[in-house]
Structure 1
Amino acid sequence: MTRDYEQFPDDDNGNVLWQMHEDGDDLTEPHEIEYSIAFTTQEQAEKCALYLLAEEQKISLFQDEESDAVEWIITIYVYMEPEYSDIVDLEQWFSKIAAEHGGEYDGWGCMAYVYDDEDEDDYED
């Protein structure tokens, strides 16, 4: 299949979405996409976490002790269809929130949802 650069632009987000598509992921199905913001202090992370909760976001907050420097990570869970423009819009919003709270936006990811038509036949009545 030829890549549609309007649907999958030639940048990091477009490349990830294109790879998901090529791997058989159904991008018309909602996915739980995880966006991350990193902080150097617990206080900054907690203030941002409270702000995100007030914005009705589903989040988790944890200390990443495996990184070179101790970091606090907020993961924001958004259930959505992985559509390029929506991902870019949310990245811009989370980058702005991160900067306002002394953190740094750290990207997104999600689990792949690959459906095999043959498997569906196995579960029919």
Structure 2
Amino acid sequence: MSRDYEQFPEDENGEVLWQMHKDGDDLTEPHEIEFSIAFTTEENADRCALHLLKEEQKISLFQDEESDRLEWVITIYVYLEPCYEDIVDLEQWFTKIASDFQGEYDGWGCMAYVYDDIDDEDILTS
């Protein structure tokens, strides 16, 4: 399998998308991608959460007690086909929002959607 460097550039996002593609994930299907922003104060997290809700974003907010430091995390759920340009654009937007509310953009992730092509003839019946 040959890598298309326009579709999967040589950076962290390109590497993740390339690995998803190599693993058989169908990148033409929409995925729920989770972007995270971390905060050191609950007040800033609350203000940012309200801003994101006003921007009509689907979010969750929780206190991460397992972190090395006490922090609050907002997860933003975006349903889209995982393409490099869209992910980079959203990262830039969420990085700016994080900065506006004294938070730190903390990356993205999603569940893989891998489908096996199984013919009816391949299914064993008893």
- Aligned residue type for 1:104: E
Cross-structure match for 1:69: 69
Equivalents in 2 of 1:106, 1:68: separation in Å? 15
Cross-structure match for 1:83: 83
Cross-structure match for 1:33: 33
Over aligned residues, Cα RMSD in angstroms? Answer: 0.9
Cross-structure match for 1:96: 96
Equivalents in 2 of 1:41, 1:63: separation in Å? 10
- Aligned residue type for 2:116: D
Q: Find the residue that maps to 2:51 and give its secondary structure.
A: helix
Equivalents in 1 of 2:55, 2:92: separation in Å? 15
- Aligned residue type for 1:111: M
- Aligned residue type for 1:70: L
Equivalents in 2 of 1:42, 1:61: separation in Å? 10
C-alpha displacement of 1:95: 0.1
Hey, which bits of structure 1, 4+ residues long, moved more than 2 A? Answer: none
Cross-structure match for 1:43: 43
- Structure 1: which 5+ residue stretches go unaligned? none
Cross-structure match for 1:106: 106
User: TM-score of the superposition, structure 1-length normalised?
Assistant: 0.95
C-alpha displacement of 1:41: 0.5
- Structure 2: which 5+ residue stretches go unaligned? none
Aligned residue pairs: how many? Answer: 121
Q: Find the residue that maps to 2:97 and give its secondary structure.
A: helix
Q: Find the residue that maps to 1:5 and give its secondary structure.
A: coil
Using the aligned pairs only, state the percent identity. 79
Tell whether 2:23 aligns with 1:23: yes
User: TM-score of the superposition, structure 2-length normalised?
Assistant: 0.94
Mapping for residues 1-16 of structure 1, pairs under 5 Å = 1-16=1-16
- Aligned residue type for 2:18: W
- Aligned residue type for 1:101: F
C-alpha displacement of 1:12: 0.1
- Aligned residue type for 1:83: C
C-alpha displacement of 1:66: 0.1
C-alpha displacement of 1:56: 0.1
